[in-house]
Amino acid sequence: MEESNGSFLMVAASNLFIMWMIGFFVYKAGHVIHVLFVVAIILTFFRILRGY
């Protein structure tokens, strides 16, 4: 169960990063996309801290 939680965090961080890239380079959606990018970085950081 613990491994699936780590996988979920990685998928969530990856999806947020991809959405940020799309928003930054294609749609220029503004500051909301950058907030998503920060959330993706935080989720990845927590994943690294947990040792996954």
Please tell me the predicted confidence (pLDDT) of residue 1: 45
Q: Is the pLDDT of residue 2 over 60?
A: no
pLDDT tens-digit readout, 9-39:
888 888 888 887 777 766 665 667 777 788 8
Q: Is the pTM of this model over 0.85?
A: no
pLDDT band at 44 (very low <50, low <70, confident <90, very high): confident
Q: Is 48 exposed, middle or buried (0-12, 13-18, 19+ CB in 10 A)?
A: exposed
DSSP letter assigned to residue 47: H
**Which residue range forms the structural domain that includes residue 23?**
2-50
pLDDT band at 4 (very low <50, low <70, confident <90, very high): low
How many domains is the chain partitioned into structurally?
A: 1
